[in-house]
Chains A and B, each alone.
Chain A
Amino acid sequence: SQQGEEDPQALSIQEGENATMNCSYKTSINNLQWYRQNSGRGLVHLILIRSNEREKHSGRLRVTLDTSKKSSSLLITASRAADTASYFCATDGQTGANNLFFGTGTRLTVIP
């Protein structure tokens, strides 16, 4: 079963607006990663945030992590049509695990 759940399942915004996606997970983690998937393509790594970090930035991306609430958020500022994709959070799930547990994803549509 999947470790995380993203919220909302789908999000539609106008180009230039900000998009916020949330992820909740169930067990203790070492790190949390966010990935993007364009339709019919593989996943692309966006950002990794460690369990001892609370916030991380990369370009137009801002990720927060609250380990007490077992939740993370991904903010995309000044969205572009090219940001249209599905976004997934992924966690290692438990100590020693060598695989990632993915959430169900948020489908983002940016309208030009």
Chain B
Amino acid sequence: GAGVSQSPRYKVAKRGQDVALRCDPISGHVSLFWYQQALGQGPEFLTYFQNEAQLDKSGLPSDRFFAERPEGSVSTLKIQRTQQEDSAVYLCASSLLALAAYNEQFFGPGTRLTVL
């Protein structure tokens, strides 16, 4: 594909449900990032993968959040027992190389999660 894709684009969940958000990065991109963006705010870092290795998960807000990238391409962000404060847009980004500081990140359109 031409860019980063995410699915679903919109997800409504009842409080307590589990959700899974998918990211398809640009083919061949080494780095993959997940961000959480609250309404009216900038994206906040959640976790980072270099190929299949999750090198940084310091931004995950609780142990209800889990991410994986088992084959170094597609990634899934899973949120267990969703809470209302989890409502946000979840953005996935990929970059060709490692080291975010030196590389442009390509963002997907995001998944808007609403927890009722």
A42-B107, A99-B33, A99-B56 known; A2+B44 contact, CB < 8 A: yes
For the residues of B in contact with A, the DSSP-based class is mixed
Partner of B45, one of A29, A33, A101, A103: A101
- Neighbouring B residues of A104 by C-beta, 8 Å: 40-42
Q: Is the CB of B102 within 8 A of A105?
A: no
- Among B45, B98, B108, B109, contact of A100 (Cβ-Cβ < 8 Å): B45
For chain B, the bracket of interface size reads: 20 to 34
Counting residue pairs across A and B whose Cβ atoms lie within 8 Å, the total is: 70
Instruction: Establish whether residues B42 and A31, one from each chain, have CB atoms under 8 Å apart when the complex forms.
Output: no
List B residues 13-63 near A (Cβ within 8 Å): 31, 33, 35, 40-45, 48, 50, 55-56, 59
Say if the beta carbon of B101 comes within 8 Å of chain A. Answer: yes
Report the bound CA distance from A12 to B32 in whole Å: 34
| Cross-chain contact B104 with A45 (CB below 8 angstroms) | yes
Main secondary structure of the interface of A (DSSP, over half): loop
Which B residue's beta carbon lies closest to that of A30? B101
Contact of B42 with A105 in the complex, beta carbons under 8 Å: yes
The size class of the interface chain A forms with chain B is: 20 to 34
Q: Is the CB of A98 within 8 A of B48?
A: yes
In the bound assembly, the distance between CA atoms of A4 and B42 in angstroms comes to 9
**A97/B43 contact (C-beta < 8 A), A41-B109, A45-B106 known:** no
In the bound assembly, the distance between CA atoms of A29 and B102 in angstroms comes to 11
What is the minimal beta-carbon distance from A88 to any residue of chain B, in angstroms? 5
A99 to B101, CA, bound (A): 7
* Cβ 8 A contact of B100, one of A4, A42, A43, A98: A98
Closest 7 CB pairs of A and B: A92-B101, A102-B42, A42-B107, A99-B45, A30-B101, A45-B104, A43-B107
Residue positions of B touching A, CB distance < 8 A: 4, 31, 33, 35, 40-45, 48, 50, 55-56, 59, 91, 93, 98-102, 104-110
A-B contact pairs, 15 of them (CB 8 A): A30-B102, A31-B101, A31-B102, A40-B109, A41-B109, A42-B91, A42-B110, A43-B105, A88-B42, A97-B101, A98-B50, A98-B100, A99-B100, A100-B43, A101-B45
